[in-house]
Amino acid sequence: MSGAGDPELGPPPVRDDLADVEPYGAPQLDVPVRLNTNETPEPPPAAFVAELARRLPELRLNRYPDREALALRTALAAREGLPVARVWAANGSNEVLLQVLQAYGGPGRTALLFRPGYSMYPELCRTTGTATRTVTLAEDGRLPLATVTADVAAIVAEDDPVVTLLANPNNPTGALVDHDVVRALHDTVRGLVVVDEAYVEFAPDGASVRDLLDELPRLVVSRTFSKAFRLAGLRLGYLLGPAQVMADLRRVRLPYHLDAITQLAGIIALEQEDGFLAHRGRTADERERLAALLGRLAGVDVLPSAANFLLVRTARTDVFDRLLEHGVLVRDLSSAVGRPGTWRVTVGTPEENDRLVAALAAVTAPDDAGQER
Ligand SMILES: Cc1ncc(COP(=O)(O)O)c(C=O)c1O
């Protein structure tokens, strides 16, 4: 028997291009020390939770939220000194970037990416049917001007990428992008240049390319509340750029994509920004302390970082698994970077970082029995 009433008929096969795709995401393992997803270990300020609870009753949750998230975008616009029409907000910067690719990518269009880079970029391109071209960064994780004038220019001549995606600071290398390199990139490509500043609040003042927005008409800057703002559980990201881009994102966003509680929480977080970001100095100090401790171990090489994580290369190639045996979860990047023994670690609490260092010291000790494995 076949047909609409066939009780044997299961769901249709998934889209051909998804048939071999594994669900994406960093492992969420229940281990004592989780340093693999670059959150800030300190919770949001208690004053934030109290204020959110105080103002929640203002919301009329039986009604759909403000589709334009106008109050939140107005607060973001005030923070950035931009008109509200040049600000967009969505569920985490991942959704912002997805919407950018939904609006500008798609079949027959190409995005330009850099390697090593944030692992979601190829995923977002794949789900939107956007082709990719990838340029390799320098050994130290930076994007040199010469790479733009040579490698990027060659790709532009061949495939004319409609979107170029790069992070400042870069994930996983932690390197900042020079403003002149962003200018050169913008001059070289003809499409949109998306600078993802998910970690910029950890970087020294002046690292953001936000001030280039008026100079470079095809530049957009994405940000998130997940990292330095300590609200990864909330899902809130935003985009700054030309009003035309924000108008184009409206064409692809779901109606009411940003819920009312998130909008209110974002407004309160901006009101309390100083409290939220008070940990910045502590986190940067802790990053430098951790980098120094790790770098002292034999066979361990740490890249300088402007973010809240470190890219580590170890002579041993089984470090990820051995650290896990010690209850420490880091992010294995061996295959992403193409070099076994490459991993990224989030700067945790001083206690978590000490546990990582102790575990790594045990794992890399020359007389460690596991060496022979
Ligand atoms: C470079 C980069 N961009 C964007 C994101 C996504 O952040 P969000 O939580 O805002 O979706 C991350 C998260 O790890 C990231 O590393």
For residue 137, pLDDT over 90 is answered with yes
Average the pLDDT over each of 145-154, 208-217, 224-233, 329-338 and give the range with the smallest value. 329-338
348 lines ligand 1 (CB under 6 A): no
Confidence of residue 2 (pLDDT cuts 50, 70, 90): low
Ligand 1 atom nearest residue 225's Cα: 10
Instruction: State the amino acid at position 258 in one-letter form.
Output: L
92 lines ligand 1 (CB under 6 A): yes
Give every CB contact of residue 216 below 8 A, 6+ residues apart in sequence: 182, 183, 186, 193
How far apart are alpha carbons 190 and 152 in whole angstroms?
11
Q: Where are the alpha helices (DSSP H) in the chain?
A: 46-55, 70-80, 92-104, 120-127, 145-147, 153-159, 179-188, 243-250, 260-271, 273-276, 280-295, 319-325, 334-337, 350-364
Return the ∠ at Cα 149 (arms to 146 and 153), rounded to 5°: 140
Look up the CATH number of domain 26-42+279-372. 3.90.1150.10
Stretch (H or E) spanning 310: strand 309-314
Per-residue pLDDT, 23: 86
Ligand 1 atom nearest residue 171's Cα: 1
Burial zone of 79 (CB within 10 Å; 0-12 exposed, 13-18 middle, 19+ buried): middle
Segment 26-57, tens digit of pLDDT: 888 889 999 999 999 999 999 999 999 999 99
Q: How far does the chain reach from its first CA to its final CA, in angstroms?
A: 57
Unique residue bearing structure tokens 């402007």: 306
Q: Which residues pair with 114 in a beta bridge?
A: 135
How far apart are alpha carbons 343 and 316 in whole angstroms?
11
Q: Whose CA is nearest to atom 7 of ligand 1?
A: 93
Statement: the pTM of the whole predicted model exceeds 0.85: yes
Two tokens at 345? 């670690």
Confidence of residue 246 (pLDDT cuts 50, 70, 90): very high
For residue 373, pLDDT over 90 is answered with no
Two tokens at 324? 């896990």
Compute the distance from residue 224 Cα to the ligand 1 centre, in Å.
7
Confidence of residue 371 (pLDDT cuts 50, 70, 90): very low
* DSSP letter for each residue of 230-269: --TTT--EEEES-HHHHHHHHTTSPTT-S-HHHHHHHHHH
Confidence of residue 144 (pLDDT cuts 50, 70, 90): very high
Compute the distance from residue 281 Cα to the ligand 1 centre, in Å.
21
Residue ranges per domain, the chain? 26-42+279-372, 46-275
Q: Whose CA is nearest to atom 3 of ligand 1?
A: 198
Ligand 1 atom nearest residue 97's Cα: 4
Q: Which residues pair with 33 in a beta bridge?
A: 328
How far apart are alpha carbons 244 and 288 in whole angstroms?
41
Pocket test for ligand 1, best of 118, 258, 310 (most atoms within 8 A of CB): 118
Compute the distance from residue 370 Cα to the ligand 1 centre, in Å.
35
Nearest to 242 by CA among 70, 100, 91, 79: 100
Same fold, 26-42+279-372 and 46-275: no
Per-residue pLDDT, 190: 95
Class of domain 46-275: alpha beta
Average the pLDDT over each of 1-5, 154-158, 296-300, 353-357 and give the range with the smallest value. 1-5
Residue 170 · residue 177 · CB < 8 Å: yes
196 lines ligand 1 (CB under 6 A): yes
114 lines ligand 1 (CB under 6 A): no
How far apart are alpha carbons 155 and 264 in whole angstroms?
43
Give every CB contact of residue 161 below 8 A, 6+ residues apart in sequence: 110, 111, 112, 133, 155, 189, 191
Percent over 90 (pLDDT), the chain: 88
38 lines ligand 1 (CB under 6 A): yes
Q: What is the mean pLDDT of residues 2-13?
A: 81
130 lines ligand 1 (CB under 6 A): no
How far apart are alpha carbons 217 and 221 in whole angstroms?
12
Nearest to 194 by CA among 122, 305, 107, 96: 96
Pocket test for ligand 1, best of 226, 238, 310, 333 (most atoms within 8 A of CB): 226
Segment 58-114, tens digit of pLDDT: 999 999 999 999 999 999 999 999 999 999 999 999 999 999 999 999 999 999 999
Residue 98 · residue 258 · CB < 8 Å: no
